[in-house]
Each structure stands twice: as structure tokens, then as C-alpha cells.
Structure 1
Amino acid sequence: MDMKRFDWSKTFSTDECSIWLDSGTVKVWTKIGQPVQLPSYRHPSKVHLWGGIYLMGATPLCIFTENFNQLRYISTLNECLIEQANALYGNVWILQEDNSPVHTGKVAKAWKSQFVPHRIDWPPNSPDLAPIENLWRILKRRLMVRAPKTVEQLKGIIEIWQSFNPEFIRPFCLSMEKRIKLCLKNNGGKIRY
């Protein structure tokens, strides 16, 4: 597939990420010489997120706490992508996902061959090419401003996701041609985007 001349207008850039509670940087003020006691967490709480963006907006955000495996991935695509993508584009939409073992396992591949009309063969370890990576970074930054203390507060992340309107998302999706040109110019190496 020639990515330099690819039509990205019907492509859903999808990915998942995790957000941990109480495992980030802690800043404290102390007097000189005063001992600092910071909380430690053996098993910090976390939530997993799955989402997708496309030229006209975003998919619903799926939030879950269980491990992300092939069956959960199939369920997520069913809940948050398939119906919306088919309603918008019929059977001509394209799924862009990374090469996570969850995406490339036999069960997931077999299911996608029936329900996903087109997929992009995506190179491994290429997060700077996927436009959704930029959105994850912004989402995490905005969430940290709220300083969530509980898993329930972490789930308030849906409000932030819904604030990403189509006008905000569109430039990320339209940047794909430029990202690919930069990557080719850098001989497939990492780009700053």
C-alpha cells in the first residue's frame, strides 16, 4: 500500500492506553533537613482506555479495568467502532491499529476478517505516526490537572474525551501525509510530531 498517496479520510486511528492512579510524580515542600515521607503504592489502581479518531471526530471512549486481551478487544470494537464506522462509511472504512499481540492474535484476526472491511498493515513501534498518540498525551495532561484520587474520579476522563470536538481532532488526522513524508525523509527513524 502506497502510504504517500493514501486517502486518510475514512481511516479510524485507534489505540489503547493505561492511566495509573497514585503512581506519578509527587511534589512536596519541606524545610531544609526535614525528612520527607511520601506514600508508596504496591499496586496502584489503573484504568485502561480504548479510543479512535477519524476526520469527523472520535469514537466513544471505552474504559475498563480488566486485562486487555483479544476477547476484550473484539468486544471493544463491537461496542465502540463497528456500528458507527459502518453507519458513516458503509464497507469502505479503514482500521489503523498498532501491532499489539492483542490485535494480531489468531482470534482477533479471524474476527476482524469478518467485520472490518479494510485494515492498514502498520509497522511496529511507530507511535509518532499514529495521530491518536497526540490525543492521548493531551488527555493525560488535562486529567492530571484534575488530580484524580480514586478510580471513580479517573472514570471522569470521558468528559475530557468528549471535549475533543471534530475541529480539534481534524488537524491530527490531516497530518498523516506530513508524518509519513517526515518518516521517509528520516529513513524510517523516529520523528518529532
Structure 2
Amino acid sequence: MEQWRTFPGVAGRPKLPQERSDNSSRRSQKTPQQHPKNCRPHLPQLRSVSHYVWRKSNTAFQKKNIIPTVKYGGGSVMVWGSFAASGPGRLAVINGTMNSAVYQKILKENVWPSVCDLKLKRTWVLQQDNDPKHTSKSTSEWLKKNKMKTLEWPSQSPDLNPIEMLWHDLKKVVHARKPSNVAELQQFCKDEWAKIAPQRCNRLIASYRKHLIAVVAAKGGPTSY
């Protein structure tokens, strides 16, 4: 199994409470969130707690009423990861623009090492979705040349890839460590991915049949998974 994912970094500007016409009112700060979906979803901002500020009108820019962010500015990290029932594979940080050539380089440097690390048998299959970089002519030829068998995947499908659950786990633990810059964000992602328990991976694979049955029963609609 494989997937790549973007992890937004810390916010780069102060968050100010919105002003209302009454002299004393309750202020709430919430970070917008986007639902993880498909190959390149964005996860919630790392600073995602709610803040409440009591203040009078026309005092929004007073220092005591401003919620500061870290001084390092914004940033994000794109990563590629893999896993099997026996545990997590390699996690690679992607620098620059993602294209077919970069994707093939990631596969070359990480798939076979992950297969060896996880001691997979020769019958293993690579799962990827239908992102253009995955299905391009050059990538298809590269996969064939390197004898990597891929799992057939529908063009329009629910989030059936079990690695979605691991991305969710990773987001939570990295968020809890509160990275203050991109370098820390990268390192925390690598550290926490390596800590994923093989038992967690095994349970995701073992429950996959139930997941598929639930999706079929719901005719492609929402399920408890």
C-alpha cells in the first residue's frame, strides 16, 4: 500500500478576534479544516484549538487581544508513505513539484527497501489510486519494467485505501508535538511514522473485507469506517 500526503505547517500571521458592536462580547477563534480526500488531501492546520477573548469594541489590535503565532512563518510538508499488514514501510519527504519523474524516483528509492524491511513475499501488490502521475505512460512503463504489480483501482471510488487511517493517526500525534517550523514538521512526521505499531497495520488489513462489504451495502455512500 502507498500514498502521498500534504501536511500544512504552522500559521504565519496573528489571529485576531472578530469585532462586534456591543462593548463586551465573547470572541472565538477557529481554524478552518478541510476533509482528507483522495491522493493529496490537506489536513487541519496544526494550530486548531479555539480561543476566546473578552474585549471592548475598537480594541482588536491591542497586544493583549492578539493571539500570536510562531515567528518562523508558514510552511508545509508533502510526504509519501507505505505500509503492509506487517507494519509501516518507508516515509519519504517530497521537495519541489510532484510529477511522474519525481514519483518514479520515490518508488525506486522506497518501495523495494520497504518490501525487504517488511519481509513481504513475492505476491505483494502495490496499491495506488488514479492520480495522473500514477497512471501516466512513463510511470506505467516504469512499473512494468521494474516488475511492480499494481492493484486495479476504480476512477471514482470512496476512500477505500486503509492508509487513510494511518494518515489520520499521524496527523494527531504530530499535532500534539506542536512543531514550530518546517524542519521540525518533517522530523516529527518521520519519527511518528516509524513508531506506528505493526498491530495497528495488521488490524487495518484484517478489517478491510468488512469495510468493502459496508461500502457495497451502502451503495458507495457513507459508512462507519
Residue number among 199, 203, 214 corresponding to 1:167 in the alignment: 199
Distance in 2 of aligned mates of 1:22 and 1:73: 26
Aligned length: 180
Is the contact between residue 126 and residue 150 of structure 2 (CA under 8 Å) also seen in structure 1?
yes
Residue number among 151, 168, 171 corresponding to 1:120 in the alignment: 151
Partner of 1:9: none
Distance in 2 of aligned mates of 1:63 and 1:15: 12
Q: CA deviation at 1:86?
A: 6.1
> Given the alignment of the two structures, is residue 61 of structure 1 paired with residue 91 of structure 2, yes or no?
yes
Distance in 1 of aligned mates of 2:201 and 2:120: 18
Q: Give the TM-score normalised by structure 1.
A: 0.82
Partner of 1:18: 6
Partner of 1:32: 55
Partner of 1:10: none
Q: CA deviation at 1:112?
A: 0.7
Partner of 2:220: 188
Q: Pick closer, same or farther for the CA change 1:116–1:32 going to 2, 3 Å.
A: farther
Distance in 2 of aligned mates of 1:22 and 1:86: 35
Q: Which amino acid aligns with 2:109?
A: E
Residue number among 95, 103, 110 corresponding to 2:141 in the alignment: 110
Is the contact between residue 82 and residue 116 of structure 1 (CA under 8 Å) also seen in structure 2?
no
Distance in 1 of aligned mates of 2:133 and 2:205: 24
Distance in 2 of aligned mates of 1:46 and 1:116: 33
> Given the alignment of the two structures, is residue 72 of structure 1 paired with residue 102 of structure 2, yes or no?
yes
Q: Give the TM-score normalised by structure 2.
A: 0.71
Q: Which moved more, 1:118-127 or 1:92-101?
A: 118-127
Sequence identity (%) = 25
**Matched position secondary structure for 1:58:** strand
Q: CA deviation at 1:127?
A: 5.2
Distance in 2 of aligned mates of 1:14 and 1:140: 17
Q: Pick closer, same or farther for the CA change 1:89–1:138 going to 2, 3 Å.
A: closer
Root-mean-square deviation (CA, aligned residues, Å) is 2.4
**Which stretches of structure 1, 4 residues or more, deviate above 6 A after TM superposition?**
none
Q: CA deviation at 1:39?
A: 6.4
Q: Which amino acid aligns with 1:183?
A: V
Distance in 2 of aligned mates of 1:110 and 1:139: 32
Is the contact between residue 142 and residue 160 of structure 1 (CA under 8 Å) also seen in structure 2?
yes
Distance in 2 of aligned mates of 1:65 and 1:29: 37
Is the contact between residue 158 and residue 220 of structure 2 (CA under 8 Å) also seen in structure 1?
no
Q: CA deviation at 1:52?
A: 0.9
Q: Which amino acid aligns with 1:28?
A: H
**Matched position secondary structure for 1:120:** coil
Distance in 2 of aligned mates of 1:127 and 1:38: 38
Distance in 1 of aligned mates of 2:135 and 2:142: 11
Q: Pick closer, same or farther for the CA change 1:160–1:84 going to 2, 3 Å.
A: closer
**Matched position secondary structure for 2:176:** helix
Distance in 1 of aligned mates of 2:132 and 2:67: 36
Gaps of 5+ in 1: 1-12
